Structure 1
């Protein structure tokens, strides 16, 4: 029972309970305020609409986000962004804002959804960093992921659904309390937010599935449940009063115990996977240098943009022409043997690289940072879109380094898998009439990049593929300037 008494009523909970409802809005019976900013006693929140800016009050509840533009002595009616609708595609991302719409300061949160004609841009001004924006971004995503979890796993019984919401609310309150105590170095939000953490954690979807299974026997509340802890904090739901008679039950049933054990096992596996991937991510520290991208992609700097425009269907007419030509070329069956030979040569080259122990010889890639531009010219050229450019460069560098890591067998397990797939594909291409294979492959490849193909993609399979890709180690990168040798 000690764990139930750890959380008392901190100042943040009392402060939130004293907050008034958003102007012109009646909160639902099970809706509670979780965070507020933009009032006279808190820091400013600004909404940007085109080139105009509107300060106001921003309120987050366990169901929606409300923004009220400031008037002389009060607020206008609140703009409601409903985060609880599972049929709406919610997208919340970090963004940059500035005077007259110029993207100068990376302190904004951009909310987009299919129910809005244009995105809602909210800025959280502060002198240094973007801690406030990151905090609001994490809380908003947590609420979205909460309702997505309830909808995906069809958690319909009121008491079970409220228990899930109570755990989320409790995690947000604990995050507020931790930020209140650690103002100089605020804690990472993912340490307190359940769904925000497991949406980002490798195999986190397995943990969420086990969590839904563990809720199967929570029709009766136990003394340390999140529902009863919130009730002691004067935050309660009507279903809690209906279930009051079941509060005294002793312990969960055997089936629930097994579910909890399975949940703990899955969480442990996810933590181990996260720790095993952490050092690989640290090895990618220098991979966002643009000099590295130029060095790696120098032969492809002309072909790649043109190829990407075709695949993204930016010009449907050109894409259809390329697709038609590709289908016509499939009648030349000798291309199948050529591709089979190319794949087998790739397998042979990878085996040769492993035999010569190139993974040990190629421990790093040396990139020169020298430039013919002056310092001022470099600053001016990097002034526009620097953050987005660095993010794109980092992704491209990591992708190429991982491919190179597979080629030289720095990751033997991944290299073996790739070689088996390549060899199997080579055998398939030699046995099956190639024109049928290439026609099906071409159609599938182009269709998967269309809007209809993206809507039919398998989310779980794509997630497994991304996790397999993230587990590939990258070759360490050492940046040197002229006059230094490897």
Structure 2
């Protein structure tokens, strides 16, 4: 959309953060009003009505600031286009507004005995544009006004609220819920790495406990329980019931949520009790953070080494190791092509679960040691670090 109107820039002195925020809100309102116009492809009078909304909002915004001097942030709601970007469901408000502007007409046609326009479709009059005309800010044609000197208002909904008002009310309700939810989030935020780790550990306690129980079964410290678990899972895989595990998990969680919804009280949820770790000063927290960063760096280095060794195997740096890996990949491909998936899963589960079995523990340990020794003999592919050219950045 091209415009021949001039553009004026004002460069005020930004003496404080409130003044910068004030002018930033006005600039964003103008930019988002034009984005709204381009997005919904408004034309002619619809563009003028949308810009008139933004202009009146900026006038109210400026008038309140001049009257109060100390400007509260909650008066930013006067800027409708800027506000719609941050409200829940703000896109629905703008879409409803665009539909309302699509029904806008200037010419009313013939009038009936009551002085109302006699049109086939419900029309919406440019209320904000005519307001600017009444205030003398803009010039309008005389046919846009009634003979009595008052302008016509549009979009009456008998017995119900207008779609735009309904969208705004729904957005206000969602905003209230979002603010209440954000208040609970701010209350449960804690400071300190150790404290956050303690909270995370308590929240993940069911998963950690399940993993510990699984580790106990895999270690074969209790052969009866481990054997029973092996038979149960093997029978499940053999019958092809593994595809029902995830749906059954979701149904169980949904059933628990519905049961708690029906039987639980409507009051607030009980606080999650966590034993706070001993407090640490700033230096101790920095040392803890440094240790965590060092561990993450070591993990990344290990991953890089694995990838570089895989690159060396891929390009045949060690021919014997490359031949063994290629032969293993061929066997895996043939198994995936000709052996049913259930049998492959069953074989993999039994092989991994029975490694610590008394009958296989020694042979499995020997096999894992030989595998680690073979992996250590594989060199990593070379890496060359090239410094970036500072002249190009400049």
Q: TM-score under structure 2 normalisation?
A: 0.47
Whichever structure has more strand as a proportion of its residues is 1
- TM-score, scaled to structure 1: 0.39
